[in-house]
């Protein structure tokens, strides 16, 4: 589903498709949750204009 929706985000100035190994719907409670946090933080850091 995500691979279908991603190309439709044509009005987004910045977008990124990140696929996390062993990530399920409850990734916030899984062992790889730090990878999710790192990916989100990297996305936020790219948008900063300090």
Q: What is the pLDDT of residue 39?
A: 92
Q: What is the pLDDT of residue 50?
A: 58
The secondary structure of the chain as a DSSP string is: -HHHHGGG-TT-SS------TT--TTGGGSTTHHHHHHHHHHHHHHH---
Q: What is the pLDDT of residue 34?
A: 92
Tens of pLDDT, residues 1-50: 888 999 999 998 888 898 888 888 888 888 889 999 999 999 999 877 65
Q: What is the pLDDT of residue 47?
A: 78
């Amino acid at each position: 589903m995500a691979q279908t929706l991603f190309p439709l985000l044509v009005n987004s100035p910045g977008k990124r498709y990140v696929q996390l190994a062993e990530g399920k719907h409850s990734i916030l409670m899984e062992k790889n949750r730090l990878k999710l946090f790192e990916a989100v933080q990297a996305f936020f850091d790219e948008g900063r204009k300090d």
